[in-house]
Amino acid sequence: MSGRRILVGLALVGLAIVLQTTLVVRVSIYGVAADLVLLTVIAAARRLDPEPAVLLGFTAGIILDLLGTAPLGLRALVYTIVAYATVRTRDRFEVAIPTLGLAVYGIALMGTVLLAVVGTLFGEGTLRDPGVVRQLLLGPAYDLVLALVVLPAVSWALGTTRRREALL
C-alpha cells in the first residue's frame, strides 16, 4: 500500500470534516443533514488496505469528537466499526451500482443506528429524541444521494484508473 494513498485518504477526511462542520450542517432537509465524513470513510475504506482503512475511520471519528460536545471516543468507535464493516463487505457488494447503493445505505444506516445507541448509553439521549426515526432513516438516504458524487471522487483521488472501478 502506497503511503501516498494513505495521505490522500487523510486529506480527503480532513476536507470532509471541514465541509461537514461548516457547510453540510447548515443544509438540513426536514431537520436532518447528510454525514459527509461517514460517507468519506466508507468511500476510502473501499479502496484502502484494511489496517489503514480502520485507522482512517478512527482518525476521522476522534477529530469530530474533539470538535464536538459528545463524549470523547463516541464517533471514533462508530467510524472505526463502519470502516471495518466496509472492509469486510466491500468485495460482496461491488458487483453492480444498485448493490453498491444498497451496501452504502446499509452501512450508513448501521453507523447512524450505532451512533444513536452508543450515544444514548453515554448520556446523549439520542433515542429519546422525538425525531429519532426521521434521523435514522433520512440521514443514510441523504448519504446515499451524496454517494453518487463522493464515491467516484474518492476512488479517483485514491488512484483508481479504470472507469468501471471508479464508479463501483
CATH number of the CATH domain containing 80: 1.10.1760
Tell whether the model's pLDDT for residue 164 goes beyond 80.
Answer: no
Average pLDDT over all residues of the chain: 87
Block residue for cell numbers 452501512: 107
pLDDT at 1: 53
Q: In terms of residue numbers, what domain contains 156?
A: 3-161
pLDDT at 59: 96
Long-range contacts of 114-119 (CB under 8 A, 24+ apart): 114/78, 114/81, 114/82, 115/74, 115/75, 115/78, 118/74, 118/77, 118/78, 119/70, 119/71, 119/74
Asked if 31 contacts 141 with a C-beta cutoff of 8 angstroms, the reply is no
Whether 167 is in a domain gets the answer no
Over residues 49-84, the pLDDT tens digits come to: 999 999 999 999 999 999 987 888 999 999 999 999
Whether 7 is in a domain gets the answer yes
Whether 43 is in a domain gets the answer yes
Instruction: Please give the tally of structural domains in the chain.
Output: 1
Whether 166 is in a domain gets the answer no
Percent of the chain surpassing pLDDT 90: 46
Whether 103 is in a domain gets the answer yes
Segments in the chain forming alpha helices (H): 3-22, 36-45, 50-67, 74-93, 97-121, 132-157, 163-167
pLDDT at 24: 82
Whether 168 is in a domain gets the answer no
The pTM of this model reads 0.88
pLDDT at 34: 85
Whether 48 is in a domain gets the answer yes
Whether 114 is in a domain gets the answer yes
Over residues 10-40, the pLDDT tens digits come to: 999 999 999 998 988 788 888 888 899 999 9
Predicted confidence band at 90 (pLDDT cuts at 50, 70, 90)? confident
Tell whether the model's pLDDT for residue 91 goes beyond 90.
Answer: no
